[in-house]
């Protein structure tokens, strides 16, 4: 680093400042700034990009439609949850417990962890993002499905897609639960897998 990467350590300082600001933002937020509306929209985009790639490489090989609706459900539930609690923040008379909704927001991310990990890489467990198997540290989106398709293993791709759909549905259900209850219960059965 001292010779080639960042001789004056300017990038290190910038990264430390950025991470420090993020930590302060999280520590001081009544409602955590975890935007599941944007998350759902992005997951839907990843599904669309993957579908376009499949149609070029393997026409008719794998139907990704089952993942579209749950991704849209995450976006919708995230929008509803944020709207409800942002309105509550603006109203001092609202009697809502942000601890529970914040806990739900944090634990929802855990629903995307695969218990056995990714195929051939059990140390990576996230089904939405992981370092690519052939591209170093650059992130790959929907890695289980994508990498199985790239390896030509459509049976494994189907298994990964089925698991992804379950996870997306669990995340959407947890967010809906938080949005429609007066006090989001972190022990919701939809979050059971998130605590592993």
| pLDDT tens digit sequence for 11-25 | 999 999 999 999 999
**What is d(CA 138, CA 129) in angstroms, rounded to the nearest whole number?**
10
Scanning 111-153, the segments in alpha helix (DSSP H) are 143-150
pLDDT of residue 195: 38
61: left (phi over 0), alpha (psi -120 to 50) or beta: alpha
**What is d(CA 131, CA 109) in angstroms, rounded to the nearest whole number?**
17
* pLDDT over 60 at 191, yes or no: no
**What is d(CA 29, CA 85) in angstroms, rounded to the nearest whole number?**
12
What mean pLDDT do residues 44-68 have? 84
Per residue in 34-55, pLDDT (tens digit) is 999 999 999 999 999 998 877 6
Cα dihedral: 89, 91, 97, 98 (round 10) = 0
């Amino acid at each position: 680093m001292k010779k080639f990467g960042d001789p004056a350590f300017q990038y290190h300082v910038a990264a430390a400042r950025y991470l420090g600001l993020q930590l302060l933002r999280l520590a001081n937020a009544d409602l955590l700034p975890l935007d599941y509306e944007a998350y759902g929209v992005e997951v839907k985009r990843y599904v669309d990009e993957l579908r376009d790639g499949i149609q070029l490489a393997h026409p008719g090989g794998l139907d990704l439609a089952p993942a579209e609706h749950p991704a849209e459900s995450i976006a919708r539930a995230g929008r509803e949850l944020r709207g409800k609690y942002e309105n509550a923040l603006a109203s001092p008379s609202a009697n809502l417990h942000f601890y529970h909704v914040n806990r739900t927001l944090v634990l929802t991310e855990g629903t995307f962890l695969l218990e056995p990990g990714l195929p051939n890489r059990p140390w990576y467990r996230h089904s939405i993002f992981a370092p690519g198997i052939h591209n170093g540290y650059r992130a790959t989106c929907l890695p289980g499905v994508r990498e199985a398709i790239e390896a030509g293993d459509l049976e494994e791709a189907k298994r990964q897609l089925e698991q992804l759909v379950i996870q997306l549905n669990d995340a959407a259900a947890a967010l809906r639960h938080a949005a429609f209850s007066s006090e989001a219960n972190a022990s919701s059965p939809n979050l059971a897998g998130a605590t592993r």
